[in-house]
Structure 1
Amino acid sequence: MRGSVFLKLFGLCVLTGVLVASLMMPMAVGAGALVNRTTTAMSRMSDSLEKRQMPLTTTITDRNGDPMAHLFEDYRIPTPADEISKTMKAAITAIEDKRFWDHHGVDWQGTMRALATNIASGSVQEGASTITQQYVKNYLVHVAADNAVEAQNAKETTIARKLREARLAVELERTMTKEEILTGYLNVVPFGNQTFGVGAAAQTYFGTIPDKLTIAQSALLAALVNAPGALNPNTHPQDALHRRNLVIDRMADPGNNIRITEEDAERAKQQPLGVLSPLGRPPNGCVSIGDGTTDGFFCEYVLSYLQRAGFDRDKLETGGYTIRTTMDRKATDAAKAAAEAQVPTRTPGIANAMAVVEPGTKKHEVRALVANRDYGNDADKGQTAYPIVSDVQPFGAGSVFKIFTAAAALKQGMSIHDTIPTPPVYTSPIYKSGVRPYTVHNAEGVAPGPRTLQEALATSPNTAFVMLQEKVGLDNVVNMASELGLRRSMHHVDSGGRPLEDGELSEAQWVKRHNMGSFTLGVSSVSVLELSNVMATIVSDGTWCPPTPIEAVIDRNGNRVPVKQKACEQVLSPQVAGALAQGLSKDALPGGTAHAPAKAAGWQRPVAAKTGTTQRHQSAAFVGATPQMAGAVLTYADGGDPQGICVRGGGKPPFLCGDGNGNIYGGTVPGRTWFNAMTEIHEGLPVAPLSSSPRSP
């Protein structure tokens, strides 16, 4: 027993000697020798303290700079010294390090006492860390560590770690002022609830800024530093109150460098905790933004777009970027309202998604991505976190795909005024339906008889376009779909709309290999956003551009960060694109399949448009564009048991009505959604003819 005590005392003496020698070294050998004597590990830590950037919150804004989402691992708001109240500084030093303004990084009395206790127990049982030492520890854990292992090592409960912290604390006191150290500490220390630093803590708990913190508020924040989880004021209010009042008492101690009066202390202790409920920390990520109804789909597209452009998701969450997007609030709100008006959010099994893209010959900026569904994780509330507007959906757009057949024909020299045959029934000599000949009928109400290509686009006879597809070549039609905008829809999913895996055929390859005559009838999986961009390409003089949601990415220092984006391509000559736009210009006029919703909305502008419906009525679409704005709507059965969709009058919502029993068409729910939204979006814009050149941003 005596031998054990002797060994512990001997170890205490040795370690104390090591600590003293380490701490005294700067005074004995100077800066140059100090660097030479520092171990490799210590050098790395010193480097980290000087060079590492603190993780910061990334803010995503709309095109006007108004925040729409925040991304962070740790919620932080960096705050300079002159923007932190004296009461906050008084509170944290009073409770965490009373002699902060007097020592040189290490509190000798406290350290020796704690070291003796720790040697006796064999582990770190007592802290006695100064604020400078805590700054070192928190910085190494929350800033300098590259991974969870490094973070764990930086907070391991060993004597060696305490010695390293002390050594670094002394170095910091040589290179930084007390004010700088205190400010650095207050910007890095955790306050619980995923909140780090006093700037974020003031906002999270009190909805204020650090220089407005009262005595009571400052004391509570200082109290939380001791044990943020156990002292959470929302879950452990009595414990938090007790600790807060202890801090207030310490703030009034005459021995403090910064102190409050006894009268102020008593008044502060009488105040309630006053913590916000819910907390003032902004939601993290796309699912939680706002009330989850409007911006989530756009936010998710922004993140996926940036990741495809080479941005690491982890860096987006820690880099402190400002991502200014192209989202237009007016367009987004109008589209959301229109989508919900036609299909209420909680309608079982039916989604109604809309995308809006602004045309241009330099870029195609995405203005709105919405759905009747809210963006979130509660399916019972009509929510989904799946990117149903931007990603490819396993439902077709119907006769909208006839646009690609018409475009291929026009590119080969056909005119929109050329006549094409339209029999009531047509059996193809080229295409097959399994082993049987492929036979196609026209939809109900479509009269047979020859008509111009322009009239065919407006009335949408199936037989005419299957025959035209034979003439121009299926491969050319498929290629045209890709060139005009269905890039991911054609090449990044399989024939069932699932993400493509190695060795599988893409949608485009599958259609070509199987000589699928029904391609022009729009049975393939498709993205609503890409459909919108197809129309933007047509009214942009045939210029395809990637549908970008990014206006600018700014780093924490205010510098613009380049975003790798595909270059625009001239996929149709301006003459062919203009002819195609004119060919699509009669769909909203009397006799066209979209005349009813256009008339109901009071639409009076030239518009290139097309409706579409799949054979089993499980989905229907509408696409349209003016020179100023392009958009697409896809209404489809999104439940686990897809069925036909039935539409009824009197403003009643659509409903699922069994497989093959639906009556939805592109001119009903999708068309009404498009015209109602676009009528509002175009308010204030001049009426522009389709023959005019699109506005170039």
Structure 2
Amino acid sequence: MGKKRSGGGLTGSQQAAKFLGVSVLSGVVLAGMAIPAAGALGLAAKGTVEGFDEIPANLKTPPLSQRTTILDAEGGQIATIYSRDRQVVPLTAISPYMQKAIVAIEDSRFYEHGAVDLKGILRAVNRNAQEGGAAQGASTLTQQYVKNVFVEEAGDDETKVREAQEKSLGRKIRELKYAIQVEEELGKKKILENYLNITYFGQQAYGIESAAQRYFSKPAKDLTLEESALLAGVVQSPSRYDPVNDAQEATKRRNIVLQRMADTKDVSQAEADAAKAKPVTLKVTKPKNGCITAVKGAGFFCDYVRNAFLTDTAFGKTREERAKVWNQGGLTVRTTLDPQSQDAANESIKDHVYQEDSIATAVTMVQPGTGRVLAMGQSKPYGFGKNETQINYSVDKRMGGSNFGFQVGSTFKPFIAAAAIERGMPPTKVYQAPNKIDYPTPISKCDGTQWLNLPIDGKIQTAKNETEDEIGPYALRTAMEKSINTYFVEMIGEIGLCPVTEMTQKLGVVPADGSKLPEAPSIALGSAELSPLTMANAYATFANRGVFCTPVAIESITDAHGKALAVPKSKCDRAMSTETADTINTLLRGVVDSGTGERAGLNDRDSAGKTGTTDSRYNAWFVGYTPNVSGAVWVGSGGAKKITMENIVIGGKPFEKVFGGGLPGPIWKDAVSGALSGRESGNFVTVGIPEPTLPSGGPRGNKPTTNPTRPGKPGGDGKPGGRPGGQTGGHGGGGATGATGDVQPQPPFPGISIDPNTAGVIGGRDDQ
């Protein structure tokens, strides 16, 4: 279209001034103000030219918010998310009936006038004067489009939305100036296309394509005459003419539109009458918005993807910038979710833990070497109802998880072993590992200070094994398979806390609340509160032969125009030597072959893992892996109320005590077996770890202590053929040395040392 100027050659500023004079003098705010009207009435108002000229010349039209589609790794739809359910389509994808219907009822002279309709304004002035009401009517489609742009720009800010819709003189003047610009720049067809894509049709549907899908479950291009008339009629008042809630009012309004189309010769009277005679027939598709509608039980993964977007600077420097992009929508997000793995996780969860159970479980799987999150599920579904939750038990707090995470128990022990082996400790290392010991003290920390086992309420902190018959000495392999608590307490006492801290940092092991791991020997027994995703991804490093990769959930993103956005990639760094990783793999393979995780072992594939049960029995774990998938299973009480898992029924089965190998292990086995069904399997590179011949014989003396704050006990008497008796007591009491029994000659084993002078940490439990 060419540029237009109306009103007897007056400039825009002169016309605006005259028009404002009309408004001031009449006391009526004219809806649908127009420069031509101001010129025709020949009135002016002092001081308004400058105000009109100060309005920015260019209307800044924000991109229309649209739905975002989240896909799995194979392209299947997981969920749609939107702040406004809209799908922008070109005019060619909109039924001609719809185009004619909206023009007929909203602005029948749309193709004849410019940005404003002089005749319409004069009719509105006369009508309002006769009726004595407020100014209304005469607003063109172009002006309505501009108003909708203001509303769209306001977003979800209710105050700004009200301001954009207010019937004030200032807002009308702005609307007027921008309408002139839009008419000159876009032309009629583009304005009509934009209007049909931006306007609200009720039932959470923005734009004609979403409206056609919502009310009739069909695309806008297939709308019939009567369907088009119905939707065109809704626009004036989406709540009043809502066909879902008031079919009678909607039918009356539809028939008005049909008659208007006949009057404007868009259809014949016969066509209009035939359409009027048809009842309103809807085929409603309910709104499906947000992660609560996710398929494949992937609501929590969907929410994790959203949080991953909002927390990554790749999508904007500030959270506000990232939220704006996300809420604007129109994105197609392809994720790393593997449908087969997700289905397997869901099925395993349903088989072992019921939704209505008092405790919950979460299963997370990742791919070693890529960091790709393959599956994420839990027994309490994503939602707001009974036995539902929006807390994602699999992830850290900042990603939608619980406030603190869950104590991991003995699943922490492989990190200690990895730190020790990386420092040169041989995998044949032997510790005395008595049934109960005190914390070793002092223990060096990273900052050069030392941790001391000071009395708490008059008591020194101790650690003990699960059963009374678990008495050392033990070598590392057996200690890992049996999950001997006191062995790893002694190990951390020897190597210090700093190597463990440094190793966990390399493995991405960070508490779920975002704090730092405490530098205290209690971490040897899993006092740290972590998330399943953190654990699964850390163990994936072992499967990946020592290379840690950060977890990723987003594979690719395209915007509404099909343009690819840059997405963060997994960052991989070596956390330990291949030799250390291979040694850990060998040790943890033994756990599932003949140790506490035997019920989790895969019969036809290499697998490795570790059980974990906390002293309180609030949490039980199994974290395991094959060469191509790593998974963590947590079972426990996810709510504020902590439940001890003793004498409890879970998944319809009674449990006297829940151990990591007894329930989480089988859940892991079923989930991983399903995830890998029909897929190639790999093999670990294992190392030979000779089992040293340990001293044996009669009972040893009483346990030693080196804690200076606690009196020592006299050593016991050694028996013929037995081990040495207990060593000298600690500085506190100076207990006597026990008599040494005769020791049978033993062959030397390089790297083996038996040090009875150890002291303990916080009491913990072994796993079964």
TM-score, with structure 1 as normaliser: 0.84
The aligned residue for residue 398 of structure 1 is 409
The aligned residue for residue 627 of structure 1 is 627
Matched, 1:674 2:686: no
Instruction: Mark the CA change 1:72 to 1:676 in structure 2 (over 3 Å): closer, same or farther.
Output: same
The aligned residue for residue 187 of structure 1 is 197
How far 1:304 moved relative to its partner? Answer: 1.6
The aligned residue for residue 295 of structure 1 is 298
Given candidates 358, 362, 366, the residue that maps to 1:353 is: 362
Q: Secondary structure at the match of 2:534?
A: helix
Given candidates 549, 554, 565, the residue that maps to 2:558 is: 554
How far 1:207 moved relative to its partner? Answer: 1.2
How far 1:244 moved relative to its partner? Answer: 1.4
Q: Secondary structure at the match of 1:487?
A: coil
The aligned residue for residue 383 of structure 1 is 388
Given candidates 275, 283, 303, the residue that maps to 2:282 is: 275
Given candidates 528, 534, 539, the residue that maps to 1:530 is: 534
Name the aligned partner's letter for residue 618 of structure 2: Q
The aligned residue for residue 435 of structure 2 is 424
Q: 2 CA distance for matches of 1:463 and 1:59?
A: 51
The aligned residue for residue 745 of structure 2 is none
Q: Do the aligned residues in 1 keep the contact of 2:440 with 2:490 (CA within 8 Å)?
A: no
Q: Do the aligned residues in 2 keep the contact of 1:62 with 1:326 (CA within 8 Å)?
A: yes
Name the aligned partner's letter for residue 355 of structure 1: T
Q: 2 CA distance for matches of 1:425 and 1:77?
A: 66
Q: Do the aligned residues in 1 keep the contact of 2:549 with 2:571 (CA within 8 Å)?
A: yes
What is the correspondence of 1:4-83 to structure 2 with a 5 Å cutoff? 11=25, 19-20=34-35, 39-43=53-57, 46-49=58-61, 52-83=62-93
The aligned residue for residue 260 of structure 1 is 267
The aligned residue for residue 468 of structure 1 is 491
The aligned residue for residue 286 of structure 1 is 291
How far 1:442 moved relative to its partner? Answer: 1.3
Cα deviation code 1:273-309 (max 9, x no counterpart):
33344x34332x223434xx71111111112222221
Q: Do the aligned residues in 1 keep the contact of 2:37 with 2:122 (CA within 8 Å)?
A: no
Q: Do the aligned residues in 1 keep the contact of 2:597 with 2:665 (CA within 8 Å)?
A: yes
Q: 1 CA distance for matches of 2:184 and 2:640?
A: 66
Matched, 1:594 2:606: no
Instruction: Mark the CA change 1:38 to 1:564 in structure 2 (over 3 Å): closer, same or farther.
Output: farther
How far 1:212 moved relative to its partner? Answer: 0.5
Name the aligned partner's letter for residue 405 of structure 1: I
How far 1:543 moved relative to its partner? Answer: 1.6
Q: 2 CA distance for matches of 1:8 and 1:567?
A: 67
Q: Secondary structure at the match of 1:190?
A: coil
How far 1:23 moved relative to its partner? Answer: 8.0
Q: 1 CA distance for matches of 2:27 and 2:361?
A: 75
How far 1:22 moved relative to its partner? Answer: 8.3
What is the correspondence of 1:14-163 to structure 2 with a 5 Å cutoff? 19-20=34-35, 39-43=53-57, 46-49=58-61, 52-116=62-126, 124-143=134-153, 148-163=158-173
Name the aligned partner's letter for residue 478 of structure 2: E
The aligned residue for residue 247 of structure 2 is 237
Instruction: Mark the CA change 1:466 to 1:205 in structure 2 (over 3 Å): closer, same or farther.
Output: same
Cα deviation code 1:394-432 (max 9, x no counterpart):
431211111111111111112323333332222334245
Cα deviation code 1:427-460 (max 9, x no counterpart):
3342456242333221138633333312221111
Q: 2 CA distance for matches of 1:125 and 1:23?
A: 15
Q: Secondary structure at the match of 2:372?
A: strand
Q: Do the aligned residues in 2 keep the contact of 1:294 with 1:370 (CA within 8 Å)?
A: yes
The aligned residue for residue 665 of structure 1 is 659
Q: Secondary structure at the match of 2:621?
A: strand
The aligned residue for residue 324 of structure 2 is 314
Q: 2 CA distance for matches of 1:674 and 1:222?
A: 55
Instruction: Mark the CA change 1:438 to 1:37 in structure 2 (over 3 Å): closer, same or farther.
Output: closer
Q: Secondary structure at the match of 2:590?
A: coil
The aligned residue for residue 604 of structure 1 is 604
Q: 1 CA distance for matches of 2:29 and 2:431?
A: 96
Instruction: Mark the CA change 1:175 to 1:439 in structure 2 (over 3 Å): closer, same or farther.
Output: closer
Q: Secondary structure at the match of 1:686?
A: coil
Q: Do the aligned residues in 1 keep the contact of 2:474 with 2:487 (CA within 8 Å)?
A: no
Matched, 1:364 2:399: no
Higher percent of residues as helix: 1
How far 1:266 moved relative to its partner? Answer: 3.3
Cα deviation code 1:239-283 (max 9, x no counterpart):
112111221222222x33xx2233433333343333344x34332
Percent identical across equivalent pairs? 32
Q: Do the aligned residues in 1 keep the contact of 2:365 with 2:632 (CA within 8 Å)?
A: yes
Given candidates 444, 456, 467, the residue that maps to 1:444 is: 467
How far 1:647 moved relative to its partner? Answer: 6.5
Aligned length: 632
How far 1:69 moved relative to its partner? Answer: 2.1
How far 1:88 moved relative to its partner? Answer: 0.6
Cα deviation code 1:657-690 (max 9, x no counterpart):
xxxxx61001111111100010011112223111
Segment drifting more, 385-394 vs 398-407:
385-394
Q: Secondary structure at the match of 1:443?
A: coil
The aligned residue for residue 31 of structure 1 is none
After the TM superposition, list the runs of 4 or more consecutive aligned residues in structure 1 that deviate by more than 6 angstroms.
7-10, 13-16, 22-25, 35-38, 119-123, 647-651
Q: 2 CA distance for matches of 1:55 and 1:539?
A: 43
How far 1:559 moved relative to its partner? Answer: 2.4
Q: Do the aligned residues in 2 keep the contact of 1:83 with 1:211 (CA within 8 Å)?
A: yes
Q: Secondary structure at the match of 1:580?
A: helix
Q: Do the aligned residues in 1 keep the contact of 2:353 with 2:650 (CA within 8 Å)?
A: no
Q: 2 CA distance for matches of 1:650 and 1:286?
A: 27
TM-score, with structure 2 as normaliser: 0.77
Segment drifting more, 196-205 vs 159-168:
159-168
Instruction: Mark the CA change 1:383 to 1:265 in structure 2 (over 3 Å): closer, same or farther.
Output: same
Q: Do the aligned residues in 2 keep the contact of 1:287 with 1:385 (CA within 8 Å)?
A: no
How far 1:42 moved relative to its partner? Answer: 4.1
Q: 2 CA distance for matches of 1:296 and 1:215?
A: 39
Q: Do the aligned residues in 1 keep the contact of 2:29 with 2:134 (CA within 8 Å)?
A: no
Q: Secondary structure at the match of 1:238?
A: helix
> Runs of 5+ in structure 2 lacking a partner?
1-20, 41-48, 316-321, 398-403, 442-452, 688-768
> Runs of 5+ in structure 1 lacking a partner?
1-6, 26-34, 494-505, 656-661
Cα deviation code 1:182-237 (max 9, x no counterpart):
11111111111222110111111111101111112111111110101122222222
Instruction: Mark the CA change 1:429 to 1:521 in structure 2 (over 3 Å): closer, same or farther.
Output: closer
Cα deviation code 1:598-639 (max 9, x no counterpart):
3xxx63211120001011211100001111000000101124
Instruction: Mark the CA change 1:446 to 1:625 in structure 2 (over 3 Å): closer, same or farther.
Output: farther
Instruction: Mark the CA change 1:123 to 1:262 in structure 2 (over 3 Å): closer, same or farther.
Output: closer
Q: 2 CA distance for matches of 1:606 and 1:614?
A: 27
The aligned residue for residue 344 of structure 1 is 354
Q: Secondary structure at the match of 2:492?
A: helix
How far 1:383 moved relative to its partner? Answer: 0.6
Q: 2 CA distance for matches of 1:457 and 1:395?
A: 21
Name the aligned partner's letter for residue 675 of structure 2: I
How far 1:594 moved relative to its partner? Answer: 1.4
Cα deviation code 1:52-90 (max 9, x no counterpart):
322222222211222222222211111101111111112
Name the aligned partner's letter for residue 357 of structure 2: T
How far 1:145 moved relative to its partner? Answer: 7.1
Given candidates 397, 412, 429, the residue that maps to 2:423 is: 412
Instruction: Mark the CA change 1:649 to 1:236 in structure 2 (over 3 Å): closer, same or farther.
Output: closer
Name the aligned partner's letter for residue 354 of structure 1: V
Cα deviation code 1:93-142 (max 9, x no counterpart):
12112222222232222212223555789985312212122112212222
Q: Secondary structure at the match of 2:395?
A: coil
Name the aligned partner's letter for residue 260 of structure 1: V
Q: Secondary structure at the match of 1:327?
A: coil
The aligned residue for residue 28 of structure 1 is none
- The structure having more radius of gyration, on CA atoms, is 2
The aligned residue for residue 496 of structure 1 is none
Instruction: Mark the CA change 1:235 to 1:47 in structure 2 (over 3 Å): closer, same or farther.
Output: same
How far 1:15 moved relative to its partner? Answer: 10
